[in-house]
A and B are shown apart, each in its own frame.
Chain A
């Protein structure tokens, strides 16, 4: 009996909503700051809760760093405009390193200690410290795609027990799915199922889902192009796609797919404190570069 009831609930939204209700819900959802004000501005506030965002880029460009930053930023107290949420971090590559999380967390605590103004914010800082930040990050290590699928299958139950989770990070989806899976049609079907699961988790539990992807080269007309891995069909999985790349010695975050933001690109860099803006010189008047001026992907 209970199983049937559960299925009925699991079986899909069901009830109809008006567009106005949907808009209101979306406004209430909030977003997670990236700690780069330019990127936040380009994303109209930050990484959206309730949606799936994909971050792609070559190795070493900063995908994991941005994920670690978001894992700390989601916990920013409500009195500072944050979500005061928890995060579940699924690490498939082994790149989640404690030392680094510590650096990022310490920098965020320092920042908010300095800007705390009124009593409410100062009170919030009493409990917003390194220990509490580390206690709000749930880590799962997946060694292959089967383990990743298993964890995602068990995730809804976990989220019911931990209602404060506001962010799910999978770093990366590409790594396990490109190993050991020679059958490309099976891979495509599994990825499609995965994409649907992620959207469902994002909307049903009101959390931001962030997934990272690798880059690969694709041959087209005897030219090789750099494209996000996992194929064309996977490109439909996320609502927003952010491409991190090197341009000469600069690091640029380009929003290449988004329903609400114009195609823009902003410069960033990774400091000892985490993911940050690059300080623009005084006479620079265009921190955001419209994508049309740049070579498209």
Chain B
């Protein structure tokens, strides 16, 4: 960084960067540099000033948009006014959003829809860039994506048709398949930064997280699994923060009453400390993963059907399990030819 500008008396072994200076206890720095205490203090102050991205801002200044790098309240619309209302605008552009649910609930449907909605310009709720869609389970549902693309004009009837026809949706969904943890890591550490830095992509979807972390580890290896989960989620957070990009992770569920062959089961213990849901299932991967998630959504399938025109759909429900800015609430949802739409709430 600006190592040369720091007030160091002479060459310092072991310390090669500003960050290293700060990530050691002051006592260690003193010992390594041989400087007196006040000089160490001064060194740390200079290093800290270099490390900080910006001075403390007041929230009023933030609201007025005086800091371009900071949380500006920008949201990514999910292409449905009812669901955008549930989410108070859409997906936040920082942090991990998790969408869990049983198979067939419609999670992939919603993820595909968001991969299209990100491509709209900002004034229409998008971010003006494409999506990186990482599949870990089945192959990518390309036919369904094409069908949704062809029906965008119906889903987004409020957007001028010229805007819609000007967007070449399929060109901007970058599909990756990651069959194991190593290839997932390669994708996130090599491919993703390139696409993000070039501005080609401003949404990362992982469909699903559970698949890789559940299959590759025996239940005894939960410590190792948690470590890998943490590495993976750290990478996602770094990408999300550096490029102000929303990250959507799809997760599976498991039954609350599932018994395990082991005498102890940390996941089971942890699931009782999380908020009881209206369903009998809970998101997979336990507390270690839950601690990394900023917004947790769950999609559940219901028995009833709902119809609109010539189409009918099994009713689903999208529920906000937790989020820092949202109340616990839900909306009924249908999955149609043109996409996922919330059923308007009757007053």
Contact = CB atoms under 8 A, between A and B. Distances in A.
B290 A58 contact: yes
Contacts of B44: 153
B234 A180 contact: yes
B346 interface: no
Contacts of A289: none
A64 B270 CA distance: 20
B264 A219 contact: yes
B76 interface: no
Contacts of B39: 3
B53 interface: yes
Given A10-B41, A97-B71, A179-B234, A147 B53 contact: yes
B57 A139 contact: yes
Given A58-B273, A93-B95, A98-B73, A7 B41 contact: yes
Contacts of B68: none
A186 B39 CA distance: 23
Contact of B56 (A139, A189, A192, A193): A139
Nearest to A149: B22
B237 interface: yes
Contact of A135 (B58, B92, B276): B58
Interface string B38-75: 11011011011101110011111111000000110100
Interface stretch (B106-114, B307-315, B321-329): B321-329
Interface in B63-96: 63, 70-71, 73, 88-89, 92, 94-95
A137 B58 contact: yes
Contact of A58 (B57, B266, B274): B274
B324 A225 contact: no
B324 A97 contact: yes
Contact of A193 (B25, B234, B288): B25
A33 B169 CA distance: 52
B59 A135 contact: yes
B7 to A, nearest CB: 11
A214 B296 CA distance: 16
Interface string A209-233: 0000011110100111110000000
Contacts of A154: 45, 48-49, 52
Contacts of A226: 269-270, 273, 287
Nearest to B51: A150
A164 interface: no
A123 interface: no
A215 B266 CA distance: 12
A256 to B, nearest CB: 14
B265 A224 contact: yes
A178 B41 CA distance: 26
A189 B28 CA distance: 10
A24 B71 CA distance: 42
Chain A contact patch, size range:
35 or more
A149 B273 contact: no
A79 to B, nearest CB: 23
B241 A94 contact: yes
Contacts of A246: 273-276
A7 B269 contact: no
B291 interface: yes
B85 to A, nearest CB: 13
Interface in A157-181: 157-158, 174-175, 178-180
A248 interface: yes
B42 A3 contact: yes
Given A146-B23, A149-B23, A134 B51 contact: no
Residue of B56, B60, B274, B296 with highest tally of chain A CB at under 10 A: B56
A40 interface: no
B275 A217 contact: no
Contacts of A234: none
Contacts of B241: 94, 143
A3 B42 CA distance: 9
Interface string A94-137: 11111111000000000000000000000000000001001111
A278 interface: no
Interface of B: 19, 22-26, 28, 37-39, 41-42, 44-45, 47-49, 51-53, 56-63, 70-71, 73, 88-89, 92, 94-95, 230, 233-234, 237-238, 241, 263-266, 268-270, 273-276, 286-288, 290-291, 293-294, 296, 321-322, 324-325, 327
Interface of A: 3-4, 6-7, 10, 58-61, 64-65, 88, 93-101, 131, 134-141, 143, 145-147, 149-151, 153-154, 157-158, 174-175, 178-180, 186, 189-190, 192-193, 214-217, 219, 222-226, 245-246, 248-249, 270, 272
12 contacts: A7-B41, A58-B275, A59-B274, A60-B296, A88-B56, A95-B324, A98-B71, A145-B23, A186-B24, A190-B23, A216-B288, A224-B265
